[in-house]
A and B are shown apart, each in its own frame.
Chain A
């Protein structure tokens, strides 16, 4: 394939990633949030595979496969099970209303691009324009963690942030060493399970997953 075409393809996937980030930010329903998360994982896996094909690094194929397995299948499935068990398919309340959140998100994207501009010029890779997008999606996921009031969307925000980090790693430096990627993937998996266990405990304690109840834990 032609280099520019590939470059454009990666840019397209990056744009999709960012778009999904915004969609997650504006989404009120938990079930849709999980679907969006799975799609984001798919976009990430596709871009990783393309980078792997172009640079001929076999371990990137491996990490693309791992992404599909973990982030498109295993974690969404686990989250589905979790919300089934916990009966938390309800709408998500946000702390700030959705249009305001979107505006803040746009501000973050501009900030991320301004930040990434000098680094992108130095980076010699054909994927250099994607670094800003990766950082923007990290910051937007972080924002999502802040504005959500329930525990499950916060965890999805955390996982989405990891997606953004992973994308930054593949786009800027052609991926981390395989060992690191494996480690990160395992961390995410373990993290998800620990969160799952904690959800049950939190609900047992407070009869709700609303994190406002945790304010009681503060020392007076």
Chain B
């Protein structure tokens, strides 16, 4: 299929269409119009996804926009890597936009118009981040993205907590942006040409390229939410409206991964295995930290935010392994690691988007984010419960859904370790794989907790159940459409992994000039073979068929032999008829074993009631250790430094004039 127009023009057109939709939203501040514009935005997303997928299979295209500063136009480029991320952006945002069309039904006109503008500017800026082919446009789009998402985070700016969450987000986003800017400066080396082509061609000494790597890793890591720069994530995600959380967690974090791959693999080039070890260490820490703290949360959106931290860690593990292999000269294994990381990037975008949308529907129906107050929601909102279950299974990496495929590919990469020559690296890689396995198990536990506490059992607080019933129960039609789209994505990405594997192989070849082994490329639609058939292979479809037939068989056997003997009881009453709903396991209680085992990880303030307490109260507060160890000292240092600098500010005009006078005299003396 070939069109007369180059793909990149169409993609730019669709991205500008997003901008236009945002502007239209401000000009027509009516609810119906905004709904139409969100749906239009979803169409744009769909178009961008299709175009991106097509672009993966075509040679790179370039375009120069007549915008920007004089003599400094915007350069754009659409290559397979950009195409893949555009597919991610478009595909996931399409579902979220459809959902948003229904979700913002209770907003008033003016606020809705602003949300519509910020939302679409946010989408368009992400598209331009991916398309950018010079550091200038990249930074402009990057900062536009940060600003528009900041305003989306503080949509409910009347709550002080939301404002401070927004501030923290903006602060860390700027730290990251400065680091990225410095990284471009280092790569440029002073010849003044900031197109990516020039940066790619620039030859750096090993020291400087390591400096550039560190700056890029820090800068993009701040946006991605790796430790210790993750602090904004669990604050900003609960503050933002749910579709925005879905977009930020699902897509915006991924632009940071895009930036990492683009800058480290493509622009800096010459990947070294030492870098990979650094990425692996941070990735493993991020993974464990994210999941352990997620288990301790009872705020649903905060919990999901910590899982985003965890999943970024998993992606970093894949990237790190790929760097180790590429740096040691094993292209095929490196390509597999990169493919696993990118695959997980897409998967996480889909299922985390879905989960945040589900959380939004729960929030809408019950007005609750606190898991301890939920329970039995499956009766009031069965469809949301189903979609949420799909997302929960996917994030828990259970086959045949998509989360499994990418984590399995990451494991397969780790199992390539014996080909490495360096003994210490060879023995460390399985350790990282073990971290991943532990995190996977803990994730599954966490989602058993979420699903069990929120949807199963009985309502813990009667008034919330009443609220859910009064609000009309299940999510609206558009919301369900959006969730269904992402749930379908989870299934398709899980059931047909080979198509995506081949697509990603092309991305990998275009970036690292290394692809999978020939045996892997022989994978057919049924069997996924990452390295060689003798080593490992996986068929999700056969898996699905087996699960399906076993379930059907059990169902029929049960109906055949136990029919008519079914006994109804309150859920989870464990045969104890006097139990009240308040006696059910709570979210905090569910995490107790983990809290016990991993005690030193947490900073706990716990108040346990005594045995003879007449009015027993139990309180538990878990704090992030990073706050005390890293953030507060840095904040105090900054405060101290600024209090010293503030001495300059005397408030007397004469003193200020004196400053300029002395500066003038000094300049005249020294620079004449």
| Chain A interface residues toward B at CB < 8 A | 95, 111, 115, 118, 139, 142-143, 145-147, 149, 154, 211-212, 214-219
Residues 634-672 of chain B, each 1 if its beta carbon lies under 8 Å from chain A, else 0: 000000000000000111111001100100110011001
> Chain B residues with Cβ under 8 A from A146's Cβ?
654, 657-658, 661
> Chain B residues with Cβ under 8 A from A111's Cβ?
665
| Chain B interface residues toward A at CB < 8 A | 649-654, 657-658, 661, 664-665, 668-669, 672
Q: A115 to B672, Cβ gap below 8 A?
A: yes
Q: Is the interface of B mostly helix, strand, loop or mixed?
A: helix
Given contacts A111-B665, A142-B664, contact A215 B652 (CB under 8 A): yes
A151 CB to nearest B CB, Å:
9
Which 4 residue pairs across A and B have the least CB separation, nearest first? A218-B651, A215-B651, A146-B657, A211-B653
Identify the closest chain B residue to A108 (Cβ).
B665
Q: A214 to B651, Cβ gap below 8 A?
A: yes
A111 to B657, CA, bound (A): 19
> Chain B residues with Cβ under 8 A from A145's Cβ?
657
A64 to B651, CA, bound (A): 39
Give 27 CB contacts A-B under 8 Å. A95-B654, A111-B665, A115-B668, A115-B672, A118-B672, A139-B665, A142-B657, A142-B661, A142-B664, A143-B661, A145-B657, A146-B654, A146-B657, A146-B658, A154-B653, A211-B652, A211-B653, A211-B654, A214-B651, A214-B652, A215-B650, A215-B651, A215-B652, A217-B651, A218-B649, A218-B650, A219-B649
B566 CB to nearest A CB, Å:
72
A220 to B247, CA, bound (A): 40
A212 to B651, CA, bound (A): 9
> Chain B residues with Cβ under 8 A from A147's Cβ?
654
A217 to B657, CA, bound (A): 16
A177 to B669, CA, bound (A): 29
A154 to B654, CA, bound (A): 10
A142 to B653, CA, bound (A): 13
Identify the closest chain B residue to A215 (Cβ).
B651
Most A CB contacts (10 A, CB to CB) among B653, B661, B669 go to: B653
Identify the closest chain A residue to B655 (Cβ).
A146
A133 to B41, CA, bound (A): 68
B642 CB to nearest A CB, Å:
11
Identify the closest chain A residue to B661 (Cβ).
A142
Identify the closest chain A residue to B672 (Cβ).
A115
> Chain A residues with Cβ under 8 A from B661's Cβ?
142-143, 146
Identify the closest chain B residue to A96 (Cβ).
B654
> Chain A residues with Cβ under 8 A from B664's Cβ?
142
A147 to B649, CA, bound (A): 18
> Chain A residues with Cβ under 8 A from B665's Cβ?
111, 139
> Chain B residues with Cβ under 8 A from A118's Cβ?
672
A216 to B653, CA, bound (A): 12
> Chain A residues with Cβ under 8 A from B649's Cβ?
218-219
> Chain A residues with Cβ under 8 A from B657's Cβ?
142, 145-146
A147 CB to nearest B CB, Å:
7
Given contacts A145-B657, A215-B651, 12 further A-B contacts (CB under 8 A): A95-B654, A111-B665, A139-B665, A146-B657, A146-B661, A149-B654, A211-B654, A214-B653, A215-B650, A217-B651, A218-B649, A218-B651
B11 CB to nearest A CB, Å:
47
Identify the closest chain B residue to A219 (Cβ).
B649
> Chain A residues with Cβ under 8 A from B668's Cβ?
115
B672 CB to nearest A CB, Å:
6
A27 to B12, CA, bound (A): 68
A143 to B653, CA, bound (A): 13
A216 to B650, CA, bound (A): 10
> Chain A residues with Cβ under 8 A from B654's Cβ?
95, 146-147, 149, 211
A215 to B658, CA, bound (A): 15
Which of B651, B658, B669 is close to A216, meaning CB atoms less than 8 Å apart?
Answer: B651
Identify the closest chain A residue to B646 (Cβ).
A219
Identify the closest chain A residue to B668 (Cβ).
A115
Identify the closest chain B residue to A154 (Cβ).
B653
Q: B652 to A212, Cβ gap below 8 A?
A: yes
A46 CB to nearest B CB, Å:
28
> Chain A residues with Cβ under 8 A from B652's Cβ?
211-212, 214-215
A115 CB to nearest B CB, Å:
6
A214 to B654, CA, bound (A): 11
> Chain B residues with Cβ under 8 A from A215's Cβ?
650-652
A153 to B654, CA, bound (A): 12
A216 to B649, CA, bound (A): 12
Identify the closest chain A residue to B653 (Cβ).
A211
B286 CB to nearest A CB, Å:
39
A11 to B197, CA, bound (A): 61
A137 to B672, CA, bound (A): 19
A218 to B651, CA, bound (A): 5
> Chain B residues with Cβ under 8 A from A154's Cβ?
653
B650 CB to nearest A CB, Å:
7
A38 CB to nearest B CB, Å:
24
A95 to B655, CA, bound (A): 11
> Chain B residues with Cβ under 8 A from A139's Cβ?
665
Most A CB contacts (10 A, CB to CB) among B649, B654, B665 go to: B654
A211 to B661, CA, bound (A): 18
A133 to B4, CA, bound (A): 72
A218 to B650, CA, bound (A): 7
A154 to B665, CA, bound (A): 20
Most A CB contacts (10 A, CB to CB) among B649, B650, B657, B664 go to: B657
> Chain B residues with Cβ under 8 A from A216's Cβ?
651
A95 to B654, CA, bound (A): 9
B290 CB to nearest A CB, Å:
39
Identify the closest chain A residue to B654 (Cβ).
A146
> Chain B residues with Cβ under 8 A from A219's Cβ?
649
B185 CB to nearest A CB, Å:
33
Most B CB contacts (10 A, CB to CB) among A111, A146, A147 go to: A146
A118 to B658, CA, bound (A): 27
A95 to B668, CA, bound (A): 25
Identify the closest chain B residue to A217 (Cβ).
B651
A188 to B650, CA, bound (A): 28
> Chain A residues with Cβ under 8 A from B651's Cβ?
214-218
A115 to B667, CA, bound (A): 11
B652 CB to nearest A CB, Å:
6
> Chain A residues with Cβ under 8 A from B650's Cβ?
215, 218
A217 to B652, CA, bound (A): 10
A126 CB to nearest B CB, Å:
23
A176 to B650, CA, bound (A): 38
Most B CB contacts (10 A, CB to CB) among A142, A149, A154, A217 go to: A142
A147 to B653, CA, bound (A): 10
A75 CB to nearest B CB, Å:
21
> Chain B residues with Cβ under 8 A from A115's Cβ?
668-669, 672
A84 to B559, CA, bound (A): 105
A12 CB to nearest B CB, Å:
27
B665 CB to nearest A CB, Å:
7
> Chain B residues with Cβ under 8 A from A214's Cβ?
651-653
Identify the closest chain B residue to A218 (Cβ).
B651
B592 CB to nearest A CB, Å:
47
B639 CB to nearest A CB, Å:
14
A215 to B652, CA, bound (A): 5
A180 to B650, CA, bound (A): 36
Identify the closest chain B residue to A216 (Cβ).
B651
> Chain A residues with Cβ under 8 A from B669's Cβ?
115
Identify the closest chain A residue to B651 (Cβ).
A218
A95 to B665, CA, bound (A): 20
A118 to B668, CA, bound (A): 13
B648 CB to nearest A CB, Å:
11
A212 to B655, CA, bound (A): 11
